[in-house]
Amino acid sequence: MVPTLVFTTAGSASAAGCIKGAVVGGVAGHYAGKHAITGAVGGCMVGRHLSKQHEQHEGKARAAQRQASTSQ
């Protein structure tokens, strides 16, 4: 139920990060002691965080590239 709520409130890239993180976290949680749901929720949160960081890094790189091309 919680991952569904996160999917509906997240942006497209954040949702992709959440889905990937939930899958990885769910599998890891399952093998680490039958905690698949906890792992999926934690993985979703980490995936969203990493996705957001990646978007910010990409945005800064694009802005720097744009600035470099206009100053030449």
**Which structure tokens are listed for 65?**
């590239």
Helix (H) or strand (E) holding 52: helix 36-70
* Whole-number pLDDT of residue 49: 93
**Which structure tokens are listed for 29?**
């949680």
pTM: 0.68
For 20-69, what is each residue's pLDDT tens digit?
999 999 999 999 988 999 999 999 999 999 999 999 999 999 988 888 88
End-to-end CA distance of the chain: 53
Question: Amino acid identity of 34?
Answer: K
* Whole-number pLDDT of residue 13: 59
Neighbours of 44 (CB within 10 A): 27
pLDDT above 70 for 72: no
Closest CA to 45 of 33, 1, 2: 2
Domain locations along the chain: 2-70
* Whole-number pLDDT of residue 6: 46
pLDDT above 90 for 3: no
